[in-house]
Amino acid sequence: MRKPLISGNWKMNLNHFEALTLVEKLAYQLTKDVFERVDVAVHPPFTDLRTVQTVIASDSLEIQLGAQHCHWEATGAYTGEISPAFLAKLDVKLVICGHSERRELFGETDEMVNHKVKAIIAHDMTPIMCVGETLEEREAGQTETRVLDQVRAGLDGLKREQVGQMVLAYEPIWAIGTGRTATADDAQAVCAAIRGAVVEGWGAPAGESIRIQYGGSVKAANAAELIAMPDIDGALVGGASIDAEEFARLVAFAAEA
């Protein structure tokens, strides 16, 4: 059985003092039995990573450290970019790649996402590869075509065992930060199609072991219903993850799903 993963994407919020306070509050509110049922990760801004990594290590917290983005090269003349090698040295476990905001605002292509996925794996971290459709694509009936094209392009060239250890995140772009959420049945249908594409391309064992999150205005109120679905293995949470009480409730509901 796949253990759900709840990832808090803090986006461009919280300085390192605020990040320290948030992770300490979160750790205080999450009980040991919750971690037995659910994996929990936080993805702070880059300037907060060392601070959060230090408190996780010093307090032996079971929260996993994640990053929001990286370049695919380990070193080089890429001013402003972040090396996956640097993240690995900070004991980062998970790295988001292909987030819709990176695709829409910063022009990341499927090919770039594929490079990043391979680089993250090469540095012994786990990619959380995001896929999703716009409102226009959804209304045109192109959701499955668009999402599965992104899945196949992002995983191109990977071995079966590499794919099986990854995380995919279905995040309908029209639901991110809008307060709108896909119904649990709709989200399940897309996540099932994603799993089917993984099975078709990389085999049943990879399809069975890969974890598929849902992202898009996830809150405590809807988390349990979403994660109860057979092909939804957790959530990629935005705004709700920077409120310690709300995020802790969300994680607790997920653990009970």
Catalytic residue positions, numbered: 99, 171
Instruction: Indicate if the alpha-carbon torsion angle 12, 4, 83, 159 is positive or negative.
Output: negative
- The H or E element containing residue 94 is strand 94-97
- How many alpha carbons fall within 13 Å on the CB side of residue 166? 32
The CA distances from residue 69 to 2, 14, 46, 165, 248, in Å, are 25, 17, 9, 19, 24
DSSP 183-227: -HHHHHHHHHHHHHHHHHHH-HHHHHH-EEEEESS--HHHHHHHH
Tokens 């959804």 belong to residue: 138
- The H or E element containing residue 104 is helix 100-106
